[in-house]
Structure formats: structure tokens, C-alpha cells
């Protein structure tokens, strides 16, 4: 599916669903902007768009295959960005999913390519139907709007992860079980997946702090927006690093608690076994089917019972003094 949004600088007006065959006539003015959005596209559709705009076959190939890392390629007439949006559903088997978003950024056009629906592009498209507020500030600002919206969608995910970690810590001390290990591993996988998506994106734009990027030039008036974007990415990565440390600490605490409870159980069993060892010896000795001294005396049974009770009491008293029980 191909959607188009065109901003005419002379008319100060937005158009949509324009014909791409007239691309050159639309972009006569330097401040005219054309946004082409390919959603759930076919191979034929992306190849047709690539032919109209003259995209490199390698960039088209990147759009047709999934790449786990964000990147930026400079093709002289345009830039090609491969980025990822994040879909999070705690209840699903695969609770975290990376959705690839490819962006071709030219002097006065932008082409977004994605297989699945993305909230940020939906918001931009809804606004662009009636207002030029995103397209009338140049391509760099429109790129910023895409990435910033995509980045803002990560913060609610971080809040959900933080809540899960707090609940997990309560469960560890309250009701440790095998499911806790599975929950910890799922959280670690979620955190690592988000980090793999965010860190390369930060690397692409982090050079702006040094006065520009070797591969991506940004107008001075737009740089503050990207500096703010880099700050958001840094905050996300710092949060993820903190979450990762908390999850690792929770896993270590869980193993320590399980080990402590196991040691307590083993200690109790050892005490019980130790107490019964002399009792077993004495009852076995006096229970032998051979003549024993004083076995005709009726008080011998009482004496043996007192001996057993005294041995048991003495051993329990000794264990308490040693703080084994």
C-alpha cells in the first residue's frame, strides 16, 4: 500500500494521494515536500517507487530483508536509514518485537518503508492530512519527528518494565518458585532487545554534539531538536542499564534465597538423622535375639526408655547451644 502526502510551499497547502509519476513537477520549489509511505508493501510496489526516485538496489534489498541493527548510508542524493520501532505485549509469548522502519531522506522528499503499522507514522499521517506542521520545516525536522515519536513510545515500555521488576522483587521474598526464573529470563531478553535497537540509533546521532556528523549534515536551526533526541536516547539506555543491573541482582538474590532454604532443609534433615543414629543403635543393640543381662527384670524396659529419652534430649540441647537449630 502506498500513501502520499505533498506540501506545496507556494500554496501553503497539503495534498494527499498524489501521483508519483508527477514527482518532478511537485518538487520544483526547494521547500516543497513529498512524503511517500509504503505500508505492508509488495515487492512490485517498492521496486516501482525505487525506480521513480532512483534508489540504489542495495538499499531496496535492505528494505526487503530484516536487519537487526540500525544504520545510516549516504547515497549522495539521499540518505538511507534503517531503524526499528518496538512493540511490547507482556501477555504474548514473544513479548517484545522489533519492527523495521526504513527511511529514504532526500533534499525535499522522504520515503518511509515498513511492513507493520507504526503508531508514530499513524500520528504523523493523521496530522499531515490537514496540517503541514511537520512537512513545512524541512526534511531534517520531519526525520526528527519520526524518530522522536518512535523514541517517546519507548518510555511507557520502560515504565511497564520497572513495575514488573518491583513486582518480581516482592515475589522473590514472598513466594519463590520456578516461574520467577522464567520471568527474570524474559525480562533480561526484553531489556537486551530494546538495547540492541536503541544503541545503534544513538550512535548515528550522537556526533551532533561535536558540531555535526560525518555522514549526516543537519541545519543549525534543527540541531537543538536532535540534541534533545540524543538526550532521550541516552536516558533510555541509562534506564535499560539500570534495569539490567536490577534484574541481575534479583536473579542473584533469588539463587541466594533458594540456596539458603536448601541449606536450612539439609541442616534440619541432618539434625534429625544425627538424633536417630544413637537411638537406632541402642534399640538395635537391646533388641538382639540373644540373652542379655537383666533382661528378666521388668524395670529394664523403663531404664532403656529413659536412656533413649536422655540421649535425645542431650543431643537436642547440644544442637541448640551450637545454634544448629
**Is residue 246 included in any domain, yes or no?**
no
**Is residue 32 included in any domain, yes or no?**
yes
3-state secondary structure the chain: CEEEEEEECCCCEEEECCCHHHHHHHCCCCCCEEEEEEECCCHHHHHHHHHHHCCCHHHHHHHHCCCCCCEEEECCCEEEEEEEEEEECCCCCCCEEEEEEEEEEECCEEEEEECCCCHHHHHHHHHHCCCCCCCCCCHHHHHHHHHHHHHHCHHHHHHHHHHHHHHHHHHHHHCCCHHHHHHHHHHHHHHHHHHHHHHHHHHHHHHHHHCCCCCCCCCCCCHHHHHHHHHHHHHHHHHHHHHHHHHHHHHHHHHHHHHHHHHHHHHHHHHHHHHHHHHHHHHHHHCCCCCCCCCCCCHHHHHHHHHHHHHHHHHHHHHHHCCCC
Please tell me which residue, 308 or 91, carries the higher pLDDT value. 308
- The DSSP bridge partners found for residue 109 are 34
Q: Give per-residue pLDDT as tens, 21-34.
A: 776 766 777 777 88
**Is residue 149 included in any domain, yes or no?**
no
Q: Give per-residue pLDDT as tens, 76-109.
A: 888 888 888 888 877 766 778 888 888 898 888 8
Residue 88 backbone phi and psi in degrees, to 5: -130, 125
**Is residue 162 included in any domain, yes or no?**
no
| Cα–Cα distance, 95 to 99 (Å, whole number) | 13
Residue 10 backbone phi and psi in degrees, to 5: -65, -40
Look at residue 70 in the predicted model and tell me its pLDDT.
82
Global pTM value: 0.72
Boundary (domain end) residue, out of 110, 135, 160: 135
Boundary (domain end) residue, out of 73, 103, 135: 135
Average pLDDT over residues 97-125: 85
Please tell me which residue, 206 or 191, carries the higher pLDDT value. 191
Q: Which residues does 115 contact at the CB level (< 8 Å), separation at least 6?
A: 39, 40, 41, 99, 100
Average model confidence (pLDDT) for the chain?
80
Share of the chain above pLDDT 90, in %: 1
**Is residue 93 included in any domain, yes or no?**
yes
Q: How many CB atoms are closer than 10 A to CB 210?
A: 8
**Is residue 282 included in any domain, yes or no?**
yes
The number of domains in the chain is 2
**Is residue 203 included in any domain, yes or no?**
no
Boundary (domain end) residue, out of 135, 153, 186: 135
Look at residue 294 in the predicted model and tell me its pLDDT.
66
Do 68 and 196 meet the contact criterion of CB atoms below 8 Å apart? yes
What CA–CA distances, in Å, run from 253 to 160, 176, 264? 22, 11, 16
Residue 37 domain boundaries: 1-135
CATH number of 8's domain:
3.30.460.20
For residues 73-84, one letter each, b for 16 or more C-beta atoms within 10 angstroms of the residue's C-beta and e for the rest, the string is eeeeebbbbbbb
Average pLDDT over residues 151-159: 88
Look at residue 215 in the predicted model and tell me its pLDDT.
47
Q: Across 91-95, 202-206, 237-241, which has the greatest mean pLDDT?
A: 237-241
**Is residue 18 included in any domain, yes or no?**
yes
154-174 and 139-152 helices, crossing angle to 10° = 20
Amino acid at each position: 500500500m502506498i500513501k502520499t502526502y505533498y506540501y506545496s510551499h507556494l500554496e501553503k497547502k497539503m495534498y494527499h494521494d498524489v501521483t508519483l509519476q508527477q514527482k518532478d513537477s511537485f518538487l520544483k520549489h526547494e521547500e516543497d515536500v513529498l512524503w511517500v509511505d509504503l505500508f505492508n508493501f509488495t515487492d512490485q510496489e517498492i521496486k516501482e517507487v525505487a525506480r521513480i526516485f532512483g534508489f540504489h538496489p542495495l538499499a531496496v534489498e535492505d528494505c526487503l530483508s530484516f536487519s537487526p541493527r540500525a544504520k545510516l548510508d549516504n547515497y549522495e542524493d539521499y540518505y538511507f536509514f534503517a531503524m526499528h520501532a518496538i512493540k511490547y505485549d507482556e501477555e504474548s509469548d514473544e513479548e517484545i518485537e522489533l519492527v523495521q522502519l526504513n527511511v529514504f531522506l532526500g533534499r525535499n522528499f522522504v520515503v518511509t518503508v515498513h511492513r507493520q503499522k507504526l503508531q508514530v507514522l499513524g500520528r504523523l499521517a493523521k496530522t499531515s492530512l490537514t496540517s503541514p506542521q511537520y512537512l513545512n520545516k524541512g526534511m531534517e525536522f520531519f526525520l526528527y519527528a519520526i524518530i522522536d515519536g518512535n523514541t517517546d513510545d519507548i518510555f511507557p515500555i520502560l515504565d511497564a518494565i520497572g513495575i514488573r521488576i518491583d513486582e518480581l522483587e516482592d515475589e522473590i521474598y514472598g513466594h519463590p518458585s520456578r516461574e520467577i526464573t522464567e520471568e527474570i529470563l524474559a525480562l533480561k531478553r526484553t531489556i537486551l532487545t530494546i538495547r540492541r535497537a536503541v544503541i545503534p540509533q544513538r550512535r548515528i546521532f550522537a556526533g551532533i554534539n561535536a558540531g555535526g556528523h560525518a555522514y549526516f549534515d543537519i541545519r543549525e536551526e534543527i540541531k537543538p531538536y536532535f540534541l534533545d533526541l540524543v538526550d532521550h536516547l541516552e536516558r533510555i539506555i541509562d534506564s535499560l542499564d539500570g534495569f539490567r543491573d536490577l534484574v541481575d541482582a534479583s536473579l542473584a538474590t533469588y539463587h541466594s534465597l533458594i540456596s539458603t532454604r536448601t541449606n536450612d532443609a539439609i541442616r534440619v534433615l541432618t539434625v534429625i538423622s544425627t538424633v536417630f543414629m544413637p537411638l537406632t543403635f541402642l534399640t538395635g543393640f537391646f533388641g538382639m535375639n540373644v540373652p542379655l543381662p537383666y533382661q528378666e527384670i521388668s524395670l529394664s524396659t523403663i531404664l532403656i526408655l529413659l536412656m533413649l529419652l536422655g540421649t535425645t534430649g542431650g543431643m537436642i540441647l547440644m544442637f541448640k547451644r551450637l545454634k544448629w537449630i
